[in-house]
Structure formats: structure tokens, C-alpha cells
Amino acid sequence: MGCMRYNLRRQESGDMSSTTGITNNIETFRLGSSTLPRLWNGLWQLSSNAWGSAPSSKIRREMANYATNGYIAFDMGLYYFCSEILFGQFRQSLPSPRDVYGATKWCVFRTTNPTRAVVEAAVQERLDRMQSDSVDLLQFHWQDYSDSGYLTALRHLQDLRREGKIGALGLCNFDSVRMDEICEELGPGEIVSNQVQFSLIDVRPLSEMAELCLKHNVKLLTYGTLCGGFLSDKWLNQPEPDMYTGNLTPSQRKYLDMILKVWGDWDLFQTLLSTLRNIGDQHDGVSIANIATRWILDHPFVGAVIIGARLGISDHIEDNKKVTSLHLTEDDHARINAVLEGSNGSKLYTEIGDCGSEYR
């Protein structure tokens, strides 16, 4: 992947003074007609105070901080509290609003007749909340596969993209069978992405999704890559946490359940963390999180990793920058794979189902 330089001048009225943007070398990829960083800011942690909370003004300042450092792509959704509204306010405060990229979602969880009016209203709600005349990337999720209305909805979304209200069209938590069907129905180049879970623990995209991404030129936008923070130095040499204590975030409970009930056990997970730490020590002491992220990015069908940003609570900008310059060797991959082969990771596909099945 190539690198490009982002030069972003930022200013947020009432929250910060004008600052000359910092120029950074950021690893990028092509998504539709856009060139974007391979690390995105995930805003799902705005959905609950369980991750911590901060004033809106501080959240917008942190958005500006990430963007100034080259991390210009933000992933959000209606159900991430007011993430779309906060992003819209932040972007409109910029001298050049299009210097940042907003990816959001339309999720259909219950029976819906996706008429043109219904679909257009859903898109217009995104536009209103984000204060924009076009959604950069609209990611579509449909809960009930037995209702083929998702194809009708996607055809309307395709029309709205052609009319300029949507920049690019993607999927969210669609499985391999349905993604293949959709790409065949809509035609080449219409679907640019699918957002799914992918990590050293959850390797389900390697089963069928990878081949279909290459077939249809679809890039995966991956979340859960750090397993809620478990794939980090913080958890190395730590005892197995209690699932039911108040100290775990919602994401950590989800991924701990996967680690202990399907993938393996805590001892094997510690072996994985220790292996990643040893590899990191051979690469100028980069973090476990850096290596776990790089491992995902080394797959050619992956466009970007979405890293949850606890805006106003914690900041991992400097650590994330190390991912671009990190190059895992064949020996590094072999050592990681040796641990993974001792796990039940390959069985997640049969135990849980294909990508997105855990939400259905």
C-alpha cells in the first residue's frame, strides 16, 4: 500500500484556536473514489458510559486531534449515541469540511417494506444529522435474511448513490453468501466494503469471505481487531478476569466469552500475548496492539482496521502511528500461526457461523 501526505488545517469555533495542521505519512488504500488511511476511528464507544464519558466539546477537540494527525476517517452510526451529530458539528467547523471522511450506517433490525420513500428518508436522516449533502460511505445492515427485501433496499441505495446523496455504498455484518449475491445483483464496483469482525481470535473472514472480497474487489473494514483491548500489553501476565465484575466494558465481556468458550482458554491466550510481546521486542518494542493490528492489515482483502476511540478519555494516536512502519517477517507470522494452530479459532465458523451471524 502506498502512503500519502495529509495536510489538514483545523479550527473549531468556541472549542479551540486555529492550528496549522501537522503533515504525516499515513498508510492508505483506495475505497471507491477515495484514498483513505488504513486505520479508522471507531465511535461505538460513545454509545455507553461504560467506556467513560466526556463533554461534547472535548469529544470534538479529540476528533480534530485525530484528524490533524492524519486519521481522517470516522466510523459511526445512529446507535452510537449522537456520534453522527458530533461528527457533523466537528466537520462543519473545519475550513474544508471534506478534509475528513464520515462513514455511517443504516441498520434495519425489524420487518420493513423498503420502498423508495423509506430508504430515502433513512438516508436523509443521516444527512441531516451529519449536516451534509452526501454521505461519504453508507454501510447497510439487514437483520433478517429470510426477507429478501435487502436487495430492494440496496437497489434504492444504488439509485441514491448515482444521484449524489451517497458517495460509496458498503455492507455491515453481511455473510459471505449474501455478500456474493448482492455484488452479483448490483454489478461490479457497486459495493466497496463490508464491515465485519476480524482478529487473531476471530479468523472467520479467512473461511469464505476473503476469496469473495478478492472476486468482487470488496475491502473489509474490520472491528474487534483488539478484542475490546484484550490484545494489548495491559493484559499480559494478568489473571483471568471475572466476566461479571463491573470492571469490564461491554466489548470486553463479549470477547472474553469468545476467548474462553470457543477459542481456547486464558492460559493459551497468555501464550499468544507473550508471543506477541516477544515479537514486539524484536521490532523496537512496539506494542502488542500494534502487532495484532498489523497482522490484520497484512491480509490483502482488508482495507482498514477500525479502532475504537475513547474520545476525551484516552489517546492512542502516537502508538497507532507505529503500525505503518511495522513489517512482520515470515518468522513472526510463523510464530503467531503456531499459537493459533493450538486454538479452536478455525472452529469459530462452525460454532458461531459466518461473519455477522452472532448478530442474527
pTM: 0.89
At 265 the pLDDT is 96
Confidence of residue 58 (pLDDT cuts 50, 70, 90): confident
What is the per-residue pLDDT across 160-202, written as a single tens digit (0 to 9) for each? 999 999 999 999 999 999 999 999 999 999 999 999 999 999 9
- How far apart CA 194 and CA 140 sit, in angstroms, is 9
What is the per-residue pLDDT across 218-277, written as a single tens digit (0 to 9) for each? 999 999 999 999 999 999 999 999 988 768 888 899 999 999 999 999 999 999 999 999
At 245 the pLDDT is 75
At 44 the pLDDT is 65
- How far apart CA 179 and CA 310 sit, in angstroms, is 31
Nearest to 105 by CA among 74, 78, 130: 78
- Domains along the chain with CATH numbers: 3-230+288-325 (3.20.20.100)
